[in-house]
Structure 1
Amino acid sequence: MDQHDALTRAPLRGRDFARLWRERRFDGMECLNARFHHHSYAPHTHDTYVIGVITAGTELYRCRGVERVARAGQVVVLNPDVLHDGRPADSGYAYRMFYPSVGLLGQAASDALGRAVQPTFTDAELDDPALFDAIRSLHLGLEDSARETLRIDTDALRALTAVALRHGNLTGGLRPVGREPLAVRRARDFLDSHLDAPVELSDLADAVGLSRFHLLRVFRAAVGTTPHGYLTGRRVRRAKELLAGPLPLADIAMACGFCDQAHFSRVFKAQIGVSPGHYRRGSNPVQDGVGQAA
Structure 2
Amino acid sequence: MGQATIDQDSALHLDPVGRDEYARLWRDRRFDRMECLSARFNRHTYAPHTHDTYVIGVILAGTELFHHRGVEHAARAGSVAVLNPGELHDGRPSEHGYAYRMFYPSVALLERELSDALGRPAAAPGFTGTLVEDPELFRAIRDLHLTLEDPQADPLKTETDLMRAFVAVSLRHGEAGGRLRPAGQEPAAVRRAREYLDAHLDRPVELADLAAAVGLSRFHLLRVFRATVGTTPHGYLTDRRVQQAKELLSGDLPLAEVAVACGFCDQAHLNRVFKARVGVAPGQYRRGSNPVQDGAPAGH
Greater C-alpha Rg: 2
Corresponding residue number in structure 2 for 1:131: 137
Residue 75 of structure 1 corresponds to which residue in structure 2? 80
Equivalent positions of 1:1-294 (< 5 A) are 15-115=20-120, 116-171=122-177
Supply the RMSD in Å over aligned alpha carbons.
Answer: 1.4
Please give the per-residue CA displacement for 1:84-114, whole angstroms capped at 9, x wherever unaligned: 0000000100000000000001111111112
How far apart, in 1, do the equivalents of 2:124 and 2:53 lie?
Answer: 12
* TM-score normalised over the length of structure 1: 0.53
Q: In structure 2, list runs of 5 or more residues that go unmatched.
A: 1-17, 179-300
Residue-by-residue CA offset, 1:160-216 (whole Å, 9 max, x unaligned): 1011011110249xxxxxxxxxxxxxxxxxxxxxxxxxxxxxxxxxxxxxxxxxxxx
Choose between structure 1 and 2 for higher RCO, CA contacts under 8 A separated by at least 6 residues: 1
Which residue pairs with 1:175 in the alignment?
none
Gaps of 5+ in 1: 1-12, 173-294
Residues 202-232 of structure 1 show CA distances to partners (whole Å, capped at 9, x for unaligned) of: xxxxxxxxxxxxxxxxxxxxxxxxxxxxxxx
May I ask how many residue pairs the two structures share in their alignment? 160
Single out whichever of 111-120 and 47-56 deviates more from structure 2: 111-120
Residues 14 and 37 in structure 1, CA contact (< 8 A), matched pair in contact too: no
Identical pairs, percent: 64
SS in 2 for 1:57: strand
Q: Per the alignment, in what secondary structure is the counterpart of residue 111 of structure 1?
A: helix
Ranges of 4+ aligned residues in structure 1 off by more than 6 Å? none
Q: Which secondary structure state, in structure 2, belongs to the residue aligned with residue 158 of structure 1?
A: helix
CA displacement at 1:14 relative to structure 2: 6.4
* CA–CA separation in structure 2 for the residues paired with 1:16 and 1:129: 27
Letter in 2 for 1:135: I
Q: Aligned equivalents of 2:90 and 2:59: distance in 1?
A: 15
In 2, are the aligned partners of 1:105 and 1:160 still within 8 Å (CA)?
Answer: yes
After superposition, the C-alpha distances for 1:17-39 in whole angstroms (9 at most, x for unaligned) are 00000000000000000000010
- How much has 1:149 moved relative to structure 2? 0.8
Provide TM-score, normalisation by structure 2: 0.52
Larger CA deviation: 101-110 vs 51-60: 101-110
